[in-house]
Chains A and B, each alone.
Chain A
Amino acid sequence: METNGETKSQNAENVLDHFHLFRQPQYLEMFERKKREFEDPTCSDEVERIREWTKTKEYRDKNFAREAITINPAKACQPLGAIFAAVGFEGTLPFVHGSQGCVAYFRSHFSRHFKEPSGCVSSSMTEDAAVFGGLNNMIDGLANSYALYKPKMIAVSTTCMAEVIGDDLNAFIKNAREKGSVPQDFDVPFAHTPSFVGSHITGYDNMMKGILEYFWDGKAKTVPPLVREPNGRINLIIGFDGNVVGNVREVRRILDLMGVDYLIVSDNSDVWDTPADGTFRMYDGGTKLSEISDALHSKATISMQSFCTPKTLPYIEKKGQETIGLHYPIGIAATDRFLQEVSRLSGKPIPESLEKERGRLVDAIADSSAHIHGKRFAVYADPDVALGITGFLLELGAEPAHVLATNADAAWEGKVRELFSSSPFGAGCQVYPGKDLWHLRSLLFTEPVDFMIGNTYAKYLERDTGTPLIRLGFPIFDRHHHHRYPVWGYQGALNVLVWILDKIFDEMDRNTNVPAKSDYSFDIIR
């Protein structure tokens, strides 16, 4: 520990930061005194007793009997997903009709995960707007953002505030257009995204459907609806994905290798990975606006995450396309299925180079199988991501003992159970839809596992329960650049394999590294 020498308080020559300052004896003593004299503390034995009690089965039963309170939810709200979908289009500014505080959250959320600026505006509704309706905020908001940020399209979603008072986006945007906020032919698709319904994946679905509807069904009655003229192209919808930067690039590589004609509908891999070359790109890459219209004519649409597109996919199907719903393809079988669907739809064979990649992945898994075999995992993530991870763990011979998704329903539960029963390693594994991380905490204490896969928030569980964490999902705030690595495809699965193995070996090292006590097993070769 860094100390401050002889002095009793901060020293201007050597100012201690929070890592060290409050560990100084004078602070420790002060905290102790404050607690004793002013806080009327419970005796530490009792605190310890309760702490231990929270680890018991009895506490777990009470915990699972919770009806009202959600503690540490593993989900975010609809507009977050709506923004995610919106920024995947060329020059598109996400505009959230509602209060600006929410939008500040969304921006920081994305920035903290992707380490990129995140452009998004709100209509900054205040108390007046809540009483009189937010029409003026929409009119001024669209005018200002059009003038300030020069977007090619503005995608409007809503916060709870606008939803509660019942603002009608369609009418408001029409009004704003008439008032000259934006040019008559300027594209303003929209979606109602109340946060008290569903989660960020619902918002993704709503915005995706809103944009497609807007372009395909006559741009809010300003032009005639499009007529589908089928071609051979395949649409891909990525879904809400923390690894989108790596995954989209991997998918492109695979499809280019196969020589498939495809279109990624909402591609935000560039806007969340802009180069540091002296140019600020508020918008970068993305699906071209003209391509959104073209997407109607495609032969088929593959949703990489079905639970992110429960309304979008049927809508597309109704337009006459074949639709395929996947669940975040991690691993051999999931990637096989993806490639086979693409191959079937496009008529292009799966090239030898991909088959070799597949063989290499199988080889890598076999090389390390002994270390993963039979290890028990707890997994939580968005529904599709959880399915993807669970499938891969079963392939590795690991047991996904607890699989949990806060924003999941019975349909998802059924899918997970189906996966469990497809492998002997799924026997005895449990699925928990709609549960939160405080439920998971009880599970980890009462039915411990070897490792946990989850997002950054799981680090508290790691601290409390000692279960080592492998970070995967969204958000990942406390480790950098994971989003740049794919987890889809054979190459992606290899990444996940390596992360899991790294953690297993780190743990092995950590448990054997005490000099003269356990380091007889602290080996160079693992």
Chain B
Amino acid sequence: MSNLSEKVQAVFQEPGCVKNRAKSDKERKKGCTKQLQPGAAAGGCAFDGAKIALQPITDVVHLVHGPIACEGNSWDNRGSKSSDSHLYRMGFTTDIQEMDVVYGGEKRLFRAIKEAIDRYDPPAVFVYQTCVPALIGDDIDAVCQAAKKQFGRPIVPVQSPGFAGSKNLGNKLAGEALLDHVIGTEEPAYTTPCDVNIIGEYNLAGELWQVKPLLDQLGIRILACISGNAKYQEIASCHRAKATILVCSKAMINIARKMEEKYGIPFFEGSFYGISDMSDALRHLARLLVGRGAPEELLSKTEILIRREEQKAWEKLKTYQKQLAGKRVLLITGGVKSWSVVSALQEVGMEIVGTSVKKSTDEDKERIKKLMGEEAHMIEEMTPREMYRMLKEARADIMLSGGRSQFVALKAKMPWLDINQERHHAYAGYDGMVALVAEIDRALSNPVWQEVRLPAPWQEA
């Protein structure tokens, strides 16, 4: 346990985190996880956060050590896509029973690791700690150590039991596991001056594939994407990258920052959502690479690509601008998307009537203010009831939201479009923006919204 609390403390101290920097020493020690109010609805736990951060690594066995609840409920629940192995989509768990709780689950875990290796021969096994074995004192670090020796391949303990804290904390603890056990343990077959890492991109609905062709055209190689569509070996050898783009500002900043510290890889925060954001990201990346020895012409190549792609995207968007200009949008999502989507939608002339900032950093909020003006309607945490009221009052034409709030939106007679992790359309890059706008257009024109807003005809009289 001491190991875990040290880790948690380390994450709380994370100097890369803007929130942390603003705190006093004492506040920082208390941690950034707000105590949850018992009885109030809450988000996912630290285990969930760790699992979703790492699950997109495609070719390893993700073995959840715990009772059936943890993996049983979370198995393959994210639309993270793979171009190769599908091992990551299988649910592996030790499914511990009452007797394991009494006698300890370490032996079962060890055998589970063995069976997984015998059957699937993965390059590595990720072992996830959960509440019950953590409480009874199963030492998964020790088990992983022993298994590593026995089976001659990496067995990675992910110390992020649910009670440790929030989902966001779990994201970061997952990052710590990668830093401690994976990154830097192998060498790439070769390197190029244009090798980059992408951190915080999970290839949901295949969004990485909307970006990768652009990088390919520029001759930029993705050494590792953490963790969308990643293979174990890629992450293990990603410390040789020349630059890093961090696309989710909250989840894995610790990886980016520590890799900069340890391996000297510079990073910047960018976004793949929205046309100008995408262009900025490419520009920034090219500049960083050139600064680290990539050929100078990369800059001009990037500009040519940006001009061509932007033009293509704008032409496609033009057809929607007419219908969508002036439509009012409400964003209920979190983290990076709150500002990157804002700018994207403004590009097609839509008006943002409010955006949630629950998971946003102060920096995110600053960006939102810059984009939407000082009056920006920023919505902190809210109960479904409040959300319902807000939606009714907001008089927006459409809400973009995650899977959880969409149903509240519907009850408030608000058209919605899912832009969170369970969505099935990819919205990244230039093509993704066109896809997003096309989806908004479709959602707005669906006849059911009229039906939703009209009372039953016998009530009109």
Q: Hey, which bits of chain A sit against chain B, CB under 8 A?
A: 332, 336, 339-340, 343, 349-350, 355, 358, 362-363, 365-367, 369-370, 373-374, 394-397, 423-425, 515-516, 519-521, 523-526
- Complex: how many Å from CA A350 to CA B455? 13
Q: Chain A residue with minimal CB distance to B410? A: A366
Cβ of B452 under 8 Å from chain A: yes
Assuming the contacts A362-B448, A366-B452, asked whether A336 and B79 have C-beta atoms less than 8 A apart, the reply is no
A395 in contact with B448 (CB, 8 Å):
yes
Give the residues from 392 to 449 in chain B that come closer than 8 angstroms, CB to CB, to chain A. Answer: 407, 410-411, 417-418, 422, 424, 439, 442-443, 445-449
In the assembled complex, B456 has its CB within 8 A of some CB on chain A: yes
In the assembled complex, B98 has its CB within 8 A of some CB on chain A: no
| Chain A residue contacts of B79, Cβ below 8 A | 523, 525
Pick from A336, A397, A526: contact of B457, CB below 8 A. A336
How distant is the Cα of A358 from the Cα of B448 in the complex, in angstroms? 13
In the bound complex, do residue A355 and residue B410 qualify as a contact, i.e. CB atoms below 8 Å apart?
no
CB atoms of A373 and B442 under 8 A apart: yes
The distance in angstroms between the C-alpha atoms of A439 and B76, with both chains bound, is: 45
B333 touches A (CB below 8 Å): no
Is A520 within 8 A of B442, CB to CB? no
Beyond A524-B77, A525-B77, whether A366 also contacts B448 by CB under 8 A is yes
* Inter-chain contact B456/A336, CB cutoff 8 Å: yes
Among B81-89, B213-221, B335-343, the stretch that binds chain A is B81-89
A residues in contact with B445, CB < 8 Å: 397, 424
Are B451's CB and A350's CB within 8 A?
Answer: no
If the complex has contacts A373-B442, A524-B75, A525-B77, are A366 and B449 also in contact, measured as CB distance less than 8 A?
A: yes
A525 touches B422 (CB 8 A): yes
User: Would you give the shortest CB distance from A352 to chain B, in whole angstroms?
Assistant: 10
A395-B442 CB under 8 A given contacts A340-B458, A519-B86: no
Residue of A nearest to B406 (CB): A367
A396 CB contacts on chain B under 8 angstroms: 447-448
- Is A395 in contact with B447, judged by CB distance below 8 angstroms? yes
Inter-chain contacts of A524 with B (CB < 8 A): 75-77
Give CA–CA (A339, B452) in the complex, Å.
18
Residue of chain B at shortest CB distance from A508: B424
Q: Are B458 and A397 in contact (CB under 8 A)?
A: no
Cross-chain pair count, CB within 8 angstroms: 73
A343 with B458: CB separation less than 8 A:
yes
Other than the known A340-B458, A523-B76, A525-B77, what 10 A-B pairs have Cβ atoms closer than 8 Å?
Answer: A332-B451, A336-B457, A340-B457, A355-B456, A362-B451, A397-B445, A423-B447, A519-B86, A520-B83, A521-B81
Q: Which residue of A lies closest to B79 (CB)?
A: A523
B456 near A369: Cβ-Cβ < 8 Å: no
Q: Is the interface of A mostly helix, strand, loop or mixed?
A: helix
Question: In the complex, which residue of chain A has the Cβ closest to the Cβ of B453?
Answer: A362
Chain A residues closer than 8 Å to B458, beta-carbon distance: 336, 339-340, 343, 349-350
Tell me the complex Cα distance, A358–B79, Å: 32
A396 CA / B448 CA spacing, docked (Å) = 6
Across the interface, B86 reaches (CB within 8 A) one of A358, A394, A520, namely: A520
Q: Which B-chain residue is minimally distant from A526 (CB atoms)?
A: B424
Alpha-carbon distance between A39 and B200 when the two chains are bound, in angstroms: 67
List the 7 closest pairs (A to B, CB-CB), nearest first. Answer: A397-B446, A369-B448, A520-B81, A369-B446, A366-B448, A365-B448, A524-B76
Q: Flag B10-27 by CB within 8 Å of A: 1 or 0 each.
A: 000000000000000000
Which chain A residue has the least Cβ–Cβ distance from B403? A525
Residues of A contacting B439 in the complex (Cβ-Cβ under 8 angstroms): 370
30 inter-chain pairs at a CB distance below 8 angstroms, sorted by A residue, are: A336-B456, A336-B458, A340-B457, A343-B458, A349-B458, A350-B458, A363-B410, A363-B411, A366-B448, A367-B407, A369-B446, A370-B418, A370-B439, A370-B443, A373-B443, A373-B446, A395-B451, A396-B447, A397-B448, A424-B447, A425-B447, A516-B86, A520-B81, A520-B83, A520-B86, A520-B206, A523-B424, A524-B75, A524-B76, A525-B77
- Please indicate the chain A residues that have their CB under 8 angstroms from the CB of B447 in the complex: 394-397, 423-425
Is A350 a contact of B456 with CB atoms below 8 Å?
A: yes
**Across-interface contacts of A516 in B (CB, < 8 A):** 86
Which residues from chain B contact A365 at a C-beta distance below 8 Å? 448, 451
Q: How far is the CB of A396 from chain B (nearest CB, A)?
A: 7
Distance in angstroms from A284 CB to nearest chain B CB is 36
Q: By CB atoms of chain B within 10 A, which of A362, A396, A423, A515 has the most? A: A362
Contact of B442 among A343, A355, A367, A374 (CB under 8 A): A374
State A302–B110 Cα separation when bound (angstroms).
72
B373 CB, nearest partner CB in chain A, Å:
32
- Across-interface contacts of B424 in A (CB, < 8 A): 523, 526
Q: What per-residue 1/0 map shows which CB atoms of B53-76 lie under 8 Å from chain A? A: 000000000000000000000011
> How far, in angstroms, from A374 to B206 measured CA to CA in the complex?
23
Contacts of A370 in B (CB 8 A): 417-418, 439, 442-443, 446
**Chain B min CB distance to A291 (Å):** 29
Residues of chain B within 8 A of A350, CB atoms compared: 456, 458
Neighbouring B residues of A395 by C-beta, 8 Å: 447-448, 451
Residues in chain A near residue B442, CB distance under 8 A: 370, 373-374
The distance from the CB of A357 to the nearest CB of chain B, in whole angstroms, is: 10
State the CA gap A374–B446 with chains docked (Å).
Answer: 9
Closest Cβ neighbor of A521 among chain B residues = B81
Q: In the assembly, what is the distance between CA of A197 and CA of B89, in Å?
A: 60
Q: Which residues of B contact A425 (CB under 8 A)?
A: 447
